[in-house]
């Protein structure tokens, strides 16, 4: 931090305008809260959407829903992390981005906290002009409220590995381990090779899939996946027609289609193709339809005739985030995660956003103390 | 039967033409087979489609995939029914309509026999001009091949109750008990009040649903459901706009939508509405999209945002049919099933088909020995 | 209440000694809290164990973990019940007995709040000599802390019906609907006809079990179940040997044993018998082994050979309690629940405990304003 | 084969006596059947039990329920293997050991074919003195009846890898992938390091377990596991008391115990310890209690208090065997399976049995054409 009282932060003040660097006061942590200095903060496609004004959020806001840092100060009563490990100033920690209300039908009765309508999310719906101001990870410090999922990072969980997948990691955990678990020996087809597609494919491999087929583009992204050891076969979107891809997937899956097909594109038209790519009796995980583009032509007969299970997955819970952190060492042992990183200073946050928008980088991250 | 050698049967000889009454030879049952006289045979919407030539079947065929009858002759080695109960000539039995191959990926590996591509179905894909000719229930006798699910009917399982739901009964079992089980206390919305919708609603009540909302038309069909004690609330299709129905369903379900919504209409457009009627975190059972009408506009964002499970269900297995027969006494104790029946003679089969097409009757059944 | 400042309460001050009636101060509800006057409070077998000192609890304690009452005062910020229904003074409410910490591995990560090691339970581990004193339902008033599951009772949920099953109701919900769901048409065998056995059998019937066999004693308890319409067959414990009971159960279940067998006795030896009563491929719900009697001879070969699922169920969560209240109208429509009640005044609390210990009554309840 | 008409076979003629080498006639395969020459046949602990007369089987019998071989002759109508791959003489195949009846309650209704009471098993309940004589794999040739699961082995599925785990492989598939699936990131404790324990641990690793703890002995067996890369931690049975092992397991699992504990010992007393080793909310897979040693002291309170799921698993189905063969390439890529093999000639079958009894070898296999 620039001083003990102030921290620099990247603030979105107006939709469509460049982000601004501001000095904001660092609050003392209240009971149950934590103040952490940020070591690495991820830049995510959602940040691009936020800046463009595509999501209804309050402004101004300190961006950054992905972060890893060190404990600066512990509020009264905080002696352990959320998994029961003792915590002290200086400890390296990661935190989940959201806090559900714990009280509504979805939190308490249905036990589906990702559907909570009162979720508070760091870097998204916490105003920068209200106490405690530092509500996002694109800053020298962040104020972590009581109820946050904060986990001390052990030796096997390097911060670079945690941040390399960003929120795509726990999103894949929620979808692929929670909503539509993969069985050992199964064939998995992943539509999309952005962060969510990549993370999903990694978890499919970790879960024992016999065969992971990646569909996407451009070729450079498929190449990046291949270089990381992610996926067993690659179909370039622009090189084939949908009918050719269907043939190719069938050939790779014993003639039947994928046991599990994962939609990780955000493009509505991908869903029509995905239903075709599933084998009879298969599952289709609709993981990427985050924005509402309205209706698209889909054939419901396929759902009945092939007896499909079409499964939606929204966001991730604190439990998913805990599972994510628990499995980062396994991912890191198998895939060279830090290789994905491209570092930016806080001052270059707008350049990082631009790079993320262009899809040029594996994973843009901000390093607050780098300048 | 008219003689010990011949049986009258209703044969579909050409698509679009009236069915014809023919005399066909009664074969001696081979090892493992059974010949039964038919007491009651159901007329189903599928029969209407078959006559219209909408499904690719071989002709000529003795129609009738729903039947109850009496053992006339047992082939070598047949001493018990499919559940282990001793069998003798004269016993009252019901039989499942299909025999899966037992050998393919879907039968043996995936244990999804309804997806078997070599299923043989009485009254649908068994030729009348080949031995043993009597391959459907619209006849004085039927030849039941080895591998059929044949179950002796006990005192609590009257033939009228078995036939009253026809194949809609086991179809509802497969979908509602197998694919998308209902929990005690749940809210269920059923789109469609034809036989499948009615059977589904009955099973939802049997399974402890707190609240079953029926959507359909015309009013007379809703009235028939209400008179039978099926459903707790009724929304007439033509009386309300989709937006009004959505409001009405929310009001009936604590403001959120159905825990489970069941599509039992066969109309593609119903699917778009059904996705709206599900509560966040809910399930949507796509049970009625049996014919391929091609794509229809659907919003996949709802699947992700509401984290829906959209579940297809195709046909029913022999296990489902066994469950159906096991639960007919429970249905019969709760609902006046025989009240649904409208009887026709074999000679009036075309009139029965016409009545089924017009949707005028609860359940048209043929009574072979009635004339 | 005897005055606006004081409420009479039944306090357990020493193990093995009679409970005492005391006047305790009524606190103002803090933010998020509620003070309710108690209309009906249940007496449970656990209360008998608590008095005997069989469980390690702090003393003194106001007993009573089952209650129904009326809102006396709402703390700041309380405008709705836990399901989102508006709340006002005078409203009739029921409340769940426990509050889990929301923070530990079991609450947040494993989503098994019944396993939380820091659960606070009304009438069990809240001291009467510390603010806010009124921590149990055996009193004119109770202080309901923030985080309690409080639900307004609608017209279909009469207080007598809610209290008639006491905590056995939600315990059965957790076990029978959550841990080991019953399918329509299944055979269920329940060992034990105390409150938990009775509640379990009711839910099995609600869930569509074809056949519920009750095993227990003495004969008067089986007779009480039969009079209520609970169960389809009854085996008296003392009238038959275990081998005879096994024969009887097989005869009632098609020769194979129960699809689901529920242990609701608390007697370790019942488990050995229960494993025998399950059919191959069946489930055994171990719902009643609440106290540790140490090892008992059991044959693990049965678990492997019959491929059983032996499922433990501990306590119930707030979600289970919500499901319970949601389904009380369904129970009440089918079973004459209030018939189980036997009313006592607060002053007769010791007599109520004695009656519960003797198993003489259906359900002993205290009526605080009855004297 | 020694001639086109006769094949040498190892026959168990009397319990307790050495096995004998006999010449038996090779039948022509009937419709749907296959005759295969045997390349590798496994020796299993069950064979030791069979020789000792501990299981009720008919004699004489050609032993050998594990085998890999080549197609010698195809019966009428056999053109594909059980997964739809074309078959021709000379093809390398593996076959499942059992054929369920397809007809009984367990096969057709409950879809639990491992519980079929009429299962026929090669090398176990097929008499050698009746046609077609060659009913086990310890022979130069075997007669594979219609209904067998026969799978052509591709390039990635070397026979040595298939036979290295013997029936322990598909047994682990049934238990660990079917009955008690492992989640990515979970802690798994395996009691027993015989073939079933080893195979289970391998599948746990394939399924993404974060941590696999092996408990067993003697030290040499643990060392063999470690050398193969199986397991992450090793607890030697004789080096620690049960209380010390419990402490050690807790230390390895974040203080709570295994998410999943697998019993693969066959020793009843292991079950008591296994219940302690599970974390609250965990699962216990009882995979090894194949023989009936009668009751052993177990504490059912643990099942309720810790809300355990205790899951039995019996044998494996043809679907499990197909999954096994599908996943052998994945196992083989990770573990040096052929390293486990110790080869014997048919003439040395008794020596192979003795070695298996002594537990001295990784996996004893017979090589029929080796002498």
3-state secondary structure of D103: coil
Q: How far apart are CA A323 and CA A310, in angstroms?
A: 24
CB contacts, 8 Å: A312 with chain B: 302-310
- Report the CATH architecture of A168-312: 3-Layer(aba) Sandwich (3.40)
Residue B61: its H or E element = strand B61-62
Residue B72: its H or E element = strand B67-74
Q: What's the pLDDT tens digit per position in A203-218?
A: 999 999 999 999 999 9
Grade residue B5 by pLDDT with cuts at 50, 70 and 90.
confident
Q: Kindly list the partner chains of chain C, i.e. chains with 3 or more CB atom pairs below 8 Å.
A: A, B, D
One-character DSSP codes across B313-366: --S--HHHHHHHHHHHHHHHHHS-GGGGEEEE-GGGHHHHHHHHHHT-SSEEEE
Using CB atoms, which residue from C289, C310, C313 is nearest to D301? C289
Going by C-alpha positions, the residue among B316, B272, B310 that lies closest to residue A308 is B310
Q: What pLDDT sits at residue D82?
A: 92
Picking from A56, A180, A191, A301 by the largest number of B CB atoms within 10 A of its own CB, the best residue to mutate is A301
Residues of chain C whose beta carbon is less than 8 angstroms from a beta carbon of chain A are 82-84, 102-105, 108-111, 147, 149, 318-319, 322-323
Task: Show the low-confidence residues of chain D (pLDDT under 50).
Answer: 2-3
Q: Is residue C371 over pLDDT 70?
A: no
CA A44 to chain B, closest CA, distance in angstroms equals 19
Check if the beta carbon of residue D314 is closer than 8 Å to that of residue D179: no
Q: How far apart are CA B143 and CA A128, in angstroms?
A: 78
Check if the beta carbon of residue A275 is closer than 8 Å to that of residue A304: no
B147: nearest CA partner in chain D: D103
Angle at C348 between CA C347 and CA C352, to 5 degrees: 145
Beta strands in C141-209 (DSSP E): 141-144, 150-152, 187-191
Q: How far apart are CA D41 and CA D140, in angstroms?
A: 10
**Confidence (pTM):** 0.96
For residue A31, the 8-state DSSP code is T
* Residue A220 CB coordination number (10 Å): 11
Check if the beta carbon of residue A66 is closer than 8 Å to that of residue A97: yes
Strand order in the sheet with A61-62: A20-25, A6-12, A61-62
Backbone phi and psi for residue B192, each to the nearest 5 degrees, phi listed first: 110, 130
Cβ distance B149 to D319 less than 8 Å, yes or no, reads: no
Cβ distance D108 to B84 less than 8 Å, yes or no, reads: no
Q: How far apart are CA B256 and CA B248, in angstroms?
A: 11
Helices within chain A (DSSP H only): 45-52, 159-164, 168-172, 195-206, 219-228, 242-252, 269-277, 300-305, 318-334, 349-358
Please name the residues in contact with C126: beta carbons below 8 A apart, sequence gap of 6 or more. C61, C62, C120, C135, C136
Using CB atoms, which residue from A177, A208, A255 is nearest to D206? A208
CB contacts, 8 Å: B84 with chain D: 104-105
Helices within B66-218 (DSSP H only): 159-164, 168-172, 195-206
Q: What's the pLDDT tens digit per position in C59-79?
A: 999 999 999 999 999 999 999
Q: Is residue B3 over pLDDT 70?
A: no
Q: Is residue B28 over pLDDT 80?
A: yes
Residues of chain C whose beta carbon is less than 8 angstroms from a beta carbon of chain D are 105-106, 110, 112, 114-115, 179, 256, 263, 268, 271-272, 280-281, 286-314
Q: What's the pLDDT tens digit per position in C209-229?
A: 999 999 999 999 999 999 999
Q: Which residue has the tokens 């087979």?
A: B33
Q: How far apart are CA A209 and CA A190, in angstroms?
A: 12
Angle at D352 between CA D347 and CA D358, to 5 degrees: 155
Grade residue A181 by pLDDT with cuts at 50, 70 and 90.
very high
CA A207 to chain D, closest CA, distance in angstroms equals 5
Backbone phi and psi for residue B296, each to the nearest 5 degrees, phi listed first: -140, 150
Q: Which residue has the tokens 């003439």?
A: D347
CA B165 to chain A, closest CA, distance in angstroms equals 20
Q: Among 3.40.630.30, 1.10.1240.10, 3.40.50.2000, 3.90.180.10, what is the CATH number of A6-166+316-370? A: 3.90.180.10
CB contacts, 8 Å: D301 with chain C: 268, 289-294
One-character DSSP codes across D188-240: EEEE--SHHHHHHHHHHHHTT-SEEEEEES-HHHHHHHHHHT--SEEEEGGGS
Q: Is residue B293 over pLDDT 80?
A: yes
Q: How far apart are CA C25 and CA D370, in angstroms?
A: 91
Whats the size of chain C, residue-wise? 371
* Residue A259 CB coordination number (10 Å): 23
Pairing of the two strands C278-286 and C309-312: parallel
Q: Mean pLDDT throughout A302-323?
A: 97
Cβ distance D109 to B322 less than 8 Å, yes or no, reads: yes
Check if the beta carbon of residue B368 is closer than 8 Å to that of residue B39: yes
For residue C24 the two structure tokens come to 């305790």
Please name the residues in contact with A30: beta carbons below 8 A apart, sequence gap of 6 or more. A75, A76, A146
Backbone phi and psi for residue A93, each to the nearest 5 degrees, phi listed first: -140, 160
Helices within C187-287 (DSSP H only): 195-206, 219-228, 242-252, 269-277
Whats the size of chain A, residue-wise? 371
Alpha carbon of B82 to those of A256, B98, D41: distances in Å?
A: 32, 14, 37
Residue C303: its H or E element = helix C300-305
Q: Is residue C2 over pLDDT 60?
A: no
Cβ distance C106 to D280 less than 8 Å, yes or no, reads: yes
Cβ distance A184 to D327 less than 8 Å, yes or no, reads: yes
Q: Mean pLDDT throughout A24-47?
A: 97
10 Å CB burial of residue D22 (0-12, 13-18, 19+) is middle
Domain assignments of chain B as residue spans, ordered by start: 6-166+317-370, 168-312
Class of the CATH-defined domain B6-166+317-370 = alpha beta
For residue D329 the two structure tokens come to 């390439």
Q: Mean pLDDT throughout C265-272?
A: 96
Q: How far apart are CA B249 and CA B264, in angstroms?
A: 17
Q: What pLDDT sits at residue B170?
A: 98
Q: How far apart are CA A89 and CA A71, in angstroms?
A: 5
Cβ distance D111 to B111 less than 8 Å, yes or no, reads: yes
Using CB atoms, which residue from A185, A323, A330 is nearest to D327? A185
Q: How far apart are CA A14 and CA A16, in angstroms?
A: 6
DSSP-based helix, strand, coil % in chain D, nearest 5: 35, 25, 40
Q: What is the ipTM of this complex?
A: 0.96
CB contacts, 8 Å: C114 with chain D: 307
Pairing of the two strands C6-12 and C20-25: antiparallel
Check if the beta carbon of residue A152 is closer than 8 Å to that of residue A92: yes
Cβ distance C319 to A111 less than 8 Å, yes or no, reads: yes
Q: How far apart are CA B15 and CA B48, in angstroms?
A: 10
Q: What's the pLDDT tens digit per position in B297-347?
A: 999 999 999 999 999 999 999 999 999 999 999 999 999 999 999 999 999
For residue A315 the two structure tokens come to 């966001």
CA C85 to chain D, closest CA, distance in angstroms equals 33
**Terminal alpha carbon distance of chain D:** 11
For residue D152 the two structure tokens come to 């052509």
Q: What's the pLDDT tens digit per position in C89-138?
A: 999 999 999 999 998 999 999 999 999 999 999 999 999 999 999 999 99
Q: How far apart are CA A328 and CA A157, in angstroms?
A: 6
Please name the residues in contact with C243: beta carbons below 8 A apart, sequence gap of 6 or more. none
Q: Mean pLDDT throughout B196-219?
A: 97
For residue B175 the two structure tokens come to 């979908």
Q: How far apart are CA B284 and CA B309, in angstroms?
A: 6
Cβ distance D319 to B104 less than 8 Å, yes or no, reads: no
Check if the beta carbon of residue D8 is closer than 8 Å to that of residue D25: no
Please name the residues in contact with C225: beta carbons below 8 A apart, sequence gap of 6 or more. C193, C198, C201, C214, C231, C234
CB contacts, 8 Å: A323 with chain C: 109
Backbone phi and psi for residue B259, each to the nearest 5 degrees, phi listed first: -65, -40
Pairing of the two strands D6-12 and A341-344: unpaired
A296: nearest CA partner in chain B: B297
Superfamily for the C6-165+317-370 domain: Medium-chain alcohol dehydrogenases, catalytic domain (3.90.180.10)
Chain-centroid distance, C-alpha A5 = 31
Strand order in the sheet with C61-62: C20-25, C6-12, C61-62
Q: Mean pLDDT throughout B96-125?
A: 94
Q: Which residue has the tokens 């063969």?
A: D325
Q: What pLDDT sits at residue D360?
A: 77
For residue B201 the two structure tokens come to 């609603």
Using CB atoms, which residue from B281, B295, B314 is nearest to A298? B295
Q: What's the pLDDT tens digit per position in C34-48?
A: 999 999 999 999 999
């Amino acid at each position: 931090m620039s001083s003990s009282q102030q921290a620099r932060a990247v603030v979105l003040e107006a939709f469509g305008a460049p982000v601004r660097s501001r000095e904001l006061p660092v609050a003392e942590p209240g009971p149950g809260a934590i103040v952490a200095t940020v070591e690495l903060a991820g830049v995510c496609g959602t940040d691009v959407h936020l800046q463009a004004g595509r999501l209804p959020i309050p402004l101004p806001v300190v961006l950054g829903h992905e972060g890893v840092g060190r404990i600066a100060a512990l509020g009264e009563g905080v002696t352990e992390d959320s998994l029961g490990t003792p915590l002290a100033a200086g400890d390296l920690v990661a935190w989940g981005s959201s806090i559900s209300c714990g009280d509504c039908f979805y939190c308490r009765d249905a036990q589906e906290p990702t559907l909570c309508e009162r979720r508070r999310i760091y870097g998204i719906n916490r105003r920068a002009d209200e106490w405690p101001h530092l509500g996002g990870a694109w800053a020298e410090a962040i104020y972590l409220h009581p109820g946050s999922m904060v986990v001390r990072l052990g030796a096997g969980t390097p911060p670079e590995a945690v941040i390399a997948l960003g929120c795509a990691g726990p999103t894949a955990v929620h979808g692929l381990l929670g909503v539509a678990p993969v069985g050992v020996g199964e064939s998995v087809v992943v539509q999309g090779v952005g962060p969510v597609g990549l993370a999903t494919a990694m978890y499919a491999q970790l879960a024992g899939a016999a065969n992971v087929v990646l569909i996407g583009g451009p070729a450079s992204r498929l190449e990046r996946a291949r270089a990381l050891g992610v996926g067993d076969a690659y179909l370039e979107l622009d090189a084939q027609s949908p009918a050719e891809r269907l043939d190719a997937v069938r050939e790779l899956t014993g003639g039947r289609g994928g046991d599990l097909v994962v939609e990780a594109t955000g493009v509505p038209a991908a869903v029509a193709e995905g239903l075709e790519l599933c084998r009879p009796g298969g599952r289709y995980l609709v993981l990427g339809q985050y924005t509402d583009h309205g209706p698209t032509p889909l054939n419901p007969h396929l759902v009945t005739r092939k007896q499909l299970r079409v499964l939606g997955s929204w966001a991730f819970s604190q439990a998913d985030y805990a599972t994510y952190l628990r499995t980062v060492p396994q991912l890191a042992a198998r895939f060279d995660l830090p290789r994905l990183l491209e570092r930016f200073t806080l001052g270059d946050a707008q350049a990082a956003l631009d790079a993320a928008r262009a899809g040029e980088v594996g994973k843009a991250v901000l390093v607050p103390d780098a300048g």
